[in-house]
Amino acid sequence: MNFEELCDIPIKKGETFGPFSHKIATNEDSKRCRACKRFREYAADIGFNVYD
């Protein structure tokens, strides 16, 4: 069972360009990545502490 099935949330695969892209998940790059931003918002909504 993978993370996507366990949490029942879709996982967007990394892209080489576009709004869902970042080469290395550094803090600055993940702030620009739309998928990372949505995941941080979702995690905060369900009660996780999210540190930037």
Report pLDDT digits (tens) over 2-46: 666 666 666 666 566 666 665 555 666 666 677 777 888 888 889
Predicted TM-score (pTM) above 0.85 = no
Q: Specify the pLDDT at position 13.
A: 63
pLDDT given at position 8 = 66
Provide the residue ranges of all domains of the chain, joining segments of one domain with +: 3-45
Q: Give me the phi and psi of 35, to 5 degrees please.
A: -65, -40
**Predicted pLDDT of residue 39:** 82
Question: Which amino acid does the sequence have at 42?
Answer: Y
Which pLDDT belongs to residue 20? 60
The answer to whether 12 and 18 are in contact (CB under 8 A) is no
pLDDT of residue 10: 62
The answer to whether 33 and 22 have CB atoms below 8 angstroms apart is yes
Kindly give, in sequence order, each residue whose CB lies less than 8 Å from that of residue 40, ignoring residues fewer than 6 positions away: 30, 50, 52
